[in-house]
Amino acid sequence: MNPLSEEILEKYIEAGKIAKSALKYAVEYVSPKRKINLFELCEAIEGYIRSKGASLAFPCNLSFNEIAAHYSPTEPHDELVFDNGLLKIDVGAMVDGYIADTAVTIARGYEYEKLAVINKQILNEVLTMFKPGVSLGSIGKYVEDRAKKSGYKPISNLSGHLVGNYTLHGGKSVPNVGQFFSPKIEAWEVYAVEPFLTFGDASGEVMNSSVIQIYSLTKMKKIKDKSLNHVKDTIYKKFRFLPFSPRWLVDEFGEDAYSLVGHLFKMRYLRGYPALIERTRRFVSQFEHTIIVTDGDPIIITN
């Protein structure tokens, strides 16, 4: 039985179209530039998604070189001179809570372009494996074997994930390395599939940095301080328990938004998502699509 109604499928497909076009917009925005203001790029991409009638499932990630994920600028003068290397653009569009998550890597320099090409090929290949009954660990083994055969390594402690209504990371993960014991894919599940690759001499693992620019609410317990309680309630009203950027609260709270978020984080009302760095500082690429598994051919909503 298909638990996804025609209406829900249409919302996923619409979110996928918007996320796909946002990435196309982002690539065109970056292509002619050598010097990129990451803050302006982030705001432009997010504004584009909103202008198409979707909400943001999470802050736009603009992770570059050895930063694999979770970099979403908060400083207006955050600039990147982009001659050589890898810029990952990861976006999430949401229609009535139904999420499409997709990412692309822009590569400059021969060795980085080659890595990105293999990464994209691997993603396209594993998407054909998403059928009911297939173990998620076998997906990871394919990514790992294919990457190593090409002279690269997957990032072993990053994975794809099940998505649901207002839920970015569901109960199942899509590993990028082989796993003996893992759940199986079921019909009508929705997955964000995202192989991360690095070079063969790297550690193939990421670690937390000290930079935290993305947060999510962890609890709704009332706070005695009325002003902080109002901020907490505002976060829930706007974002529920999905990831958000303090930038998104500036319209309501001004520049105090950053310090207010910091207070809530210290009080453990918020979870922080540190920017993730490859342990040996080798550069990382990423490609991602969101796929709906059916009892026939899968639907890649961001392709």
Catalytically annotated residues:
90, 101, 161, 169, 194, 288
CA distance 42 to 70: 12
What phi and psi values does residue 118 have, to the nearest 5 degrees? Answer: -65, -40
Crossing angle of the two packed helices 110-127 and 136-149, in degrees rounded to 10? 150
DSSP letter string, 23-56: HHHHHHHHTT-SEEEHHHHHHHHHHHHHHTTPEE
Quote the radius of gyration of the chain (alpha carbons, Å): 19
Query: 45 near 27, Cβ under 8 Å?
Result: no
What span, in angstroms and rounded, lies between the C-alpha atoms of 198 and 286? 9
DSSP state of 182: -
Long-range contacts, 2-8 (Cβ 8 Å, 24+)? 2/187, 2/188, 2/294, 2/295, 3/188, 4/188, 4/292, 8/98
Burial of 176 (0-12, 13-18, 19+ CB in 10 A): buried
Structure tokens at 205: 């693992």
The rounded distance, in Å, linking the Cα atoms of 192 and 169 is: 9
How close are the terminal C-alpha atoms of the chain, in Å?
A: 26
CB atoms within 10 A of CB 7: 9
